Amino acid sequence: MDIHLKPNDMKESLLVISIIAIVLLLVAIVLLFYNVRLYRSLTRSEMDKSRIKRQLTQNVAHEIKTPVASIHGYLETLVANPNLPDEKRRHFLERCLSQSERMTRLMAYMSTVSRLDEGRVTMEEGVDLERIINDVIEDFKGKLDSAGISVQLAIPEYLFVRGDQGLLYSIFRNLVENAVMYASGADTLRISCFRREDSIEFEISDNGSGIPDKHLNRIFERFYRVDKGRTRGEGAAGGTGLGLSIVKNAVMAHGGTISASSGPSGAGLIVRFSLPA
């Protein structure tokens, strides 16, 4: 049976078809625009990754040159002068040991940075943060004592979270080490913890010389160093500018937040960070 459309019906049909065609065209344009932006974003992301890796490699190579050159110089002097006084010989050997520790620390940093960049985070249930904190303090006991820093703990018992044990250890290790190396004039390091409904918040503070406000927004950047005014002893020479960067990225890998501020009257440094409960 033939169906004859009236002129008005035909106009309405053509109008509907036109509207559908326009909608489909707009959808196609939006999808094309999105795909182009996605492609550009991915391309830019890959370029950024390559640039960051290249910069990281260059900086690490630069960081290694100094301790290698120092060790070579000391050993060369020892070999060329077998009759050096025992006190001088011991001093050179101690400097070699110090520089080798610096390289070991740098390699440990780079291993952690690599894990973070590649997203190799292993989450476990029931990680004991109290034990991790106590282990870090025990590991640094000698250096804390030498620096004249006492540790005050204000943390609750049964402090368990879901997280990566290695990265959680790195958070506290680097914050404690930062105080030992850089908190000039400090004699107290305080580690406090507060339970919230959906998070666990930490505050780690020292009563050292503090950091100028102009540096506070940048101390978590890779390879960023504050001036020597906050340095304790040889801290500046042995610093890599990676410790606090690792802290920030490890906290973020756990879904937490982190910030830094000066203490009362500009004295000391306070680092606050949270971890999901």
Query: What confidence tens digit (pLDDT) does each residue in 58-88 have?
Result: 666 666 777 788 888 888 888 888 888 889 8
Q: Do 97 and 144 belong to one domain? A: no
What pLDDT was estimated at residue 237?
Answer: 46
The pLDDT value given to residue 235? 43
pLDDT exceeds 60 at position 12:
no
pLDDT per position as a tens digit, 153-188: 999 888 899 999 999 999 999 999 999 988 888 999
Q: What is the pTM of this model?
A: 0.69
User: DSSP readout, 125-165?
Assistant: EEEEHHHHHHHHHHHTHHHHHHHT-EEEEE--SS-EEEE-H
In this predicted structure, which of 117-131, 189-203, 207-221, 234-248 has the lowest mean pLDDT?
234-248
Angle separating helix axes 86-117 and 7-80, nearest 10 degrees = 170
Q: Are 168 and 255 in contact (CB under 8 A)?
A: no
Judge whether 219 and 180 are in contact, CB under 8 Å: no
* Comparison of pLDDT for 199 and 191, the residue scoring more: 191
- Note whether 255 and 197 are within 8 A (CB): no
Looking at the fold, whether 270 and 182 belong to one and the same domain comes out as yes
138 within 8 A of 250, measured Cβ to Cβ: no
Domain count, the chain: 2
Q: Residues 131, 102: one domain?
A: no
Q: What is the mean pLDDT of residues 38-44?
A: 55
Does 146 lie in the same domain as 260?
A: yes
| 199: its two tokens | 């998070």
Which tens digit of pLDDT belongs to each residue from 14-35?
555 556 656 656 655 655 555 5
15 and 33 both lie in a single domain: yes
Task: Confirm if 179 and 206 have CB atoms less than 8 A apart.
Answer: yes
Listed residues 67, 86, 120: the one ending a domain: 120
Is pLDDT of 130 > 80?
Answer: yes
* pLDDT tens sequence across 146-161: 999 999 999 988 889 9
Would you state the structure tokens that stand for residue 219, as one six-digit string? 């101390």
- Mean pLDDT, the chain, as a whole number? 79
User: Among 120, 144, 162, where does a domain finish?
Assistant: 120
Q: Final residue of a domain: which of 120, 141, 163?
A: 120
**Phi/psi zone of residue 210: left (φ > 0), alpha (ψ -120 to 50 degrees), beta?**
left
In a domain, 140, yes or no: yes
Range with top average pLDDT, 47-51, 62-66, 147-151, 241-245: 147-151
If asked whether residues 58 and 28 sit together in one domain, one would say yes
Give pLDDT, residue 236: 43
**Tokens 């004249």 — which residue?**
148
Beta pairing, strands 188-195 & 150-154: parallel
For 49, the token pair is: 């990754």
For 80-117, the pLDDT digits (tens) are 888 888 898 888 888 888 888 877 777 777 778 778 87
